[in-house]
Structure formats: C-alpha cells, structure tokens
Amino acid sequence: GDSRVPMNDDVPATFDDGSTTKTVDGVGTYTVAADGTVTFVPEKSFTGKAPAVTVVREDKNGTKASATYTPTVTPVTPTATPAESTGPQGLVQTGTVTFTEGDEVAPINKDSITLLDENGQPASSVEAKSPAGDVIGTFTVDKETGVVTFTPTDKS
C-alpha cells in the first residue's frame, strides 16, 4: 500500500515567512492559495526573471515541505506598419498606421496612440515642415481608428 502521509488540508500553504501575499516593488505581487498554487501578477513594466518565492506546506504529521516558484515575464513587443499616401497639391490626405499587438494578453491601448513632435514629445497635432523648415501642413491622428490626417496649409 501507499505509506505516504497525506498533506494536511486544514493547514493552508504559505510563503516561507508565513504570509500568503508578497509584493516586490517594481516586479509584482505573489499570492499563494491554500493548496499551494501561486499566482503572480507582474507590474506592467516588468520583464525578466522575477525573484523566487518559497512555498511551504505540511503533512498530517506536521512535517513541512517547501519548494520555490520562479516566474519569468517575457516582453511583449507590439509592431507598427507605416502608411504612405499621395495626392494632389492642396488636398487633405489620410493614411492608416496599423498597430499589431505583441500578444492578445496585452492589447494595444488606443488611448496611447499619439503623434510625436520633432522633439519626440506627444502632441495633439504636429506641423509638417518642408526641407527648408517652412510649415507646409498639419498632421493629426484619430486615436480610435489610427488614421493620420495631413492637412496642407497651402490650399491654392
């Protein structure tokens, strides 16, 4: 027969310090369920190997067993496909830049779709300049659709 002593389900699993929740600043939060299942919720910006946590359970004899759990968070890298358009002088043009999520667990945040000005700062509209530095139009973007609109200043 089986001589193993069953785990004591009346004594919930904990981390080695007796807690059931651990938060590591800049990394994430670990929680352990009574059965020893560890859940790790990483900070949005964290990638890489997170510190190991030790989970402890005991059997009906009171003998403790422990093991570590180490999560690794892989970076999710969205991609973007550039758009181009051509049109007659003085006419408004549009193009749709296509954004593809790196993983369905991390969808593109449409509120984060922004134009960047010449200094790399987010802007609601950006001036388009000729090679000589003259303003020749304005770019705007529709966050919901990703459509970029170019409106020329010279409509003649």
User: How high is the mean pLDDT in each 10-residue block of the chain (156 residues)?
Assistant: 84 95 97 95 94 95 94 91 89 89 85 86 89 90 90 77
| Residues 44, 13 contacting (CB under 8 angstroms) | no
Query: What is the reported pLDDT for 27?
Result: 97
User: So where are the chain's domains?
Assistant: 14-73, 79-152
| Residues 147, 95 contacting (CB under 8 angstroms) | yes
Count CB-CB contacts under 10 A for residue 70.
11
| Residues 37, 53 contacting (CB under 8 angstroms) | no
- State pTM to two decimals: 0.61
Query: What is the reported pLDDT for 52?
Result: 97
Q: Which residues make Cβ contacts (< 8 Å) with residue 145, sequence separation at least 6?
A: 96
